[in-house]
Amino acid sequence: MPTLRVVMAEKTPDHYFEEMDEFLHANIGQTLPGHEVELAEPKSEDKAELLELLKDADFLVLGGAGQRRPIDRETFEGAPKIRFLQKLGTRHHQIDVDGATSLGLPVIVEPAPSHFGVAEHAFAMLLALSKRLFEADRRVKDGYYEKLGIEPVKTTPTEYHYNYTGVEGIGSVYGKTLGIIGLGDTGAELAKRAKGFGMRTIYYTRHPASADEEREFGCTYAPLETVFRESDFLSLHASHTAETQDMVNAETLALMKPTAYLVNTARGGLVDEEALYDALKGGRLAGAALDVFKWEPTPKDTPLLGLPNVIASPHIAVGSLPIPGRFQGTLDNVARAVKGEKLVGVINGLETARTVG
pLDDT tens across 145-195, in order?
A: 999 999 999 999 999 999 999 999 999 999 999 999 999 999 999 999 999
Residue 332 pLDDT greater than 90, yes or no: yes
Q: What is the 3-state secondary structure (H, E, C) of 323-344?
A: HHHHHHHHHHHHHHHHHCCCCC
| Confidence at residue 25, expressed as pLDDT on a 0 to 100 scale | 92
Catalytic residue, chosen from 69, 206, 240, 315, is: 315
pLDDT tens across 268-323, in order?
A: 999 999 999 999 999 999 999 999 999 999 999 999 999 999 999 999 999 876 66
CATH topology of domain 3-111+322-339: Rossmann fold (3.40.50)
pLDDT tens across 90-111, in order?
A: 889 889 999 999 999 999 999 8
Domains 3-111+322-339 and 115-132+169-312 share a fold: yes
CA distance 231 to 128: 17
Task: List CB contacts of 164: < 8 A, sequence separation 6 or more.
Answer: 145, 148, 150
Q: Which CATH number applies to 115-132+169-312?
A: 3.40.50.720
Our answer to whether residue 69 is catalytic in this structure is: no
Residue 325 pLDDT greater than 80, yes or no: no
Q: Which DSSP string do the residues of 221-285 spell out, in sequence order?
A: E--HHHHHHH-SEEEE-----TTTTT-BSHHHHTTS-TT-EEEE-S-GGGB-HHHHHHHHHTTSS
Catalytic residue, chosen from 18, 77, 296, 351, is: 296
State the burial class of residue 223 (Cβ atoms within 10 Å of its Cβ: 0-12, 13-18, 19+).
exposed
Our answer to whether residue 15 is catalytic in this structure is: no
Our answer to whether residue 115 is catalytic in this structure is: no
Mean pLDDT score across all residues of the chain: 95
**Taking the domains of the chain in order of start, what are their residue ranges?**
3-111+322-339, 115-132+169-312
The model's confidence at residue 351, banded by pLDDT at 50, 70 and 90, is: very high
The model's confidence at residue 65, banded by pLDDT at 50, 70 and 90, is: low
Q: What percent of the chain has pLDDT over 70?
A: 97
pLDDT tens across 35-47, in order?
A: 999 999 999 989 9
Catalytic residue, chosen from 267, 273, 326, 336, is: 267
Residue 66 pLDDT greater than 70, yes or no: no
The model's confidence at residue 228, banded by pLDDT at 50, 70 and 90, is: very high
| Confidence at residue 12, expressed as pLDDT on a 0 to 100 scale | 87
Q: Average pLDDT of 234-244?
A: 96
State the burial class of residue 107 (Cβ atoms within 10 Å of its Cβ: 0-12, 13-18, 19+).
buried
